[in-house]
Amino acid sequence: MPGKLYVVATPIGNLEDLTFRAARILGEVDVIACEDTRQTAKLLAHLSLHKPLVAIHEHNERERAAELAARLAAGASIALVSDAGTPLISDPGYRLIQAATETGIPVVPLPGPCAAITALSASGLPTDAFYFGGFLPAKANQRRKYLEALKPLPATLIFYEAPHRILETLEDIRVCYPERRITVARELTKVHEEFLRGTGAEVLAELAARPAMKGEFTLLIAKGGEADAGADERPLQEAIAALETEGVERMEAIKLVARLRGLSKREVYSALIKK
Ligand code: SAM
């Protein structure tokens, strides 16, 4: 009988946020697959646990996924964790879960901390519909185009951002979304947790006045009003071609247009092929 693959969320700062269930499962599994063994060793030391650790990260994910899937198939139980938060959410693990689901290995998620949802819940911004965009492109022109392309989306936008890029990104948000309310959530669940709320210009001014950008940041842009969400009535081909001209990859463009029009990727793709 195959073993089970547990997807275990771990704290994003405050160790008290580890669930009872997560602690129990980490103690019960045969192996823990983790992003950085040193990080996970600290968590295990806190729980007084000793477990074999296997590193799985963006550089070795393909091979490790196959190895771990074979161990699961042979009956081992494995917990997947990342350095912090929910695995696979801007973190490694996708190939492992894919390998497990394709081979009929049971995948059991253990819910817990996730910076995006934690930030959204206290942001004060609309929560009825939201779009998680992960990390924004590092290159300024691609970032601006991406932010622009997301404008018609009737949803609060959530992004992760590195401290050394936060001011540049806020400047882009100030220009692209001058009227929208935004929230910057910094150091969530930690001692210096804070929320900065206002327009892009206000939050940028407040952060830019500081001597250094420290800590971890999650950025949120309020869902737009009717004026922002004007329907895009161009033919699908035209909408995709326009994004491609702006440097957005074809698959990304298909995904985005599908999301914006409320269609499946398959529907958009078949419309493109028919032409
Ligand atoms: N898987 C994680 C999760 O579920 O939130 C996210 C991992 S991603 C590599 C790390 C990014 O998440 C950071 O650069 C930051 O943008 C955001 N983040 C993580 N912890 C945070 C915290 N305590 N406060 C604010 N943002 C945080």
Measured from the CA of 13, which atom of ligand 1 is nearest?
A: 23
Q: Among the atoms of ligand 1, which is closest to the Cα of residue 162?
A: 14
Which is the closest atom of ligand 1 to the Cα of 9?
4
Residue 38 CB coordination number (10 Å): 10
CATH number for the domain spanning 36: value is 3.40.1010.10
Q: Is the pLDDT of residue 3 over 90?
A: yes
Using the mean position of ligand 1's atoms as its centre, give its distance from the Cα of residue 113 in Å. Answer: 10
The domain boundary residue, chosen from 110, 133, 159: 110
Indicate which residue's Cα is closest to atom 16 of ligand 1: 160
Indicate if the pLDDT at residue 228 is higher than 50: no
**One domain for residues 102 and 41:** yes
Same domain, 137 and 91: no
Give percent above pLDDT 90 in the chain. Answer: 81
Last residue of a domain, one of 86, 110, 134: 110
Which atom of ligand 1 lies closest to the CA of 193? Answer: 24
Please state which of the ranges 90-94, 235-239, 257-261 shows the lowest mean pLDDT.
257-261
Q: How far is the centre of ligand 1, averaged over its atoms, from the C-alpha of 123 (Å)?
A: 15
40 touches 53 (CB < 8 A)? yes
- Ligand 1 center to residue 14 CA distance, Å? 13
Q: What is the pLDDT of residue 264?
A: 76
Domain that holds residue 61: 5-110
Q: How does the average pLDDT of the chain come out, rounded?
A: 92
**Beta strands, E only, 111-172:** 130-135, 156-161
- Hey, which of 7, 10, 12 would you mutate to test ligand 1's pocket, going by the most ligand atoms within 8 Å of its Cβ? 12
Place 74 in a pLDDT band, splitting at 50, 70 and 90.
Answer: very high
Confidence category of residue 249, pLDDT binned at 50, 70, 90:
confident
**178 lies in the same domain as 221:** yes
Contact 53, 37 (CB under 8 A): yes
| 216 within 8 A of 163, measured Cβ to Cβ | yes
Distance CA 248, CA 252 (A): 6
Q: Which residues have any ligand 1 atom within 6 Å of their CB? A: 12-13, 82, 84-86, 89-91, 114-116, 160-162, 185-190, 216-218
Distance in Å, CA 7 to ligand 1 centroid: 17
Q: Which of 59, 79, 110 is the last residue of a domain?
A: 110
- pLDDT for the residue 262: 64
Nearest CA to ligand 1 atom 12: 160
Residues 221 and 253 in one domain: no
Q: What is the CATH number of the domain that holds 156?
A: 3.30.950.10
pLDDT tens sequence across 21-62: 999 999 999 999 999 999 999 999 999 999 999 999 989 999
What mean pLDDT do residues 199-224 have? 96
- Out of 160, 165, 191, mutate this one to test ligand 1's pocket (max ligand atoms within 8 Å of CB): namely 160
Rounded to an integer, what distance in angstroms lies between the CA atom of residue 93 and that of residue 62? 10
One domain for residues 257 and 181: no
Contact by Cβ (8 Å): 105, 75: no
Q: What is the mean pLDDT of residues 213-232?
A: 78
Residue whose token pair is 């198939």: 73
- Can you give the pLDDT at residue 229? 41
Of the candidates 19, 30, 35, 41, the one whose C-alpha atom is nearest the C-alpha of residue 94 is 35
> In this model, does residue 107 exceed pLDDT 90?
yes
The number of distinct structural domains making up the chain is 3
Q: Above 90 in pLDDT, residue 75?
A: yes
Q: What is the average per-residue pLDDT within 64-92?
A: 97
Q: Which of 54-58, 160-164, 190-194, 266-270 has the lowest mean pLDDT?
A: 266-270
Report the atom number in ligand 1 closest to the C-alpha of 115. 5
Residue 19 pLDDT > 80: yes
Residue pLDDT, tens place only, 195-207: 999 999 999 999 9
| Same domain as 120, residue 85 | no
Question: pLDDT at position 248, please?
Answer: 63
- Within this chain, do residues 146 and 183 fall inside the same structural domain, yes or no? yes
Q: Distance from the CA of 12 to the center of ligand 1, in angstroms?
A: 7
Nearest-atom number in ligand 1 for the CA of 87 is 1
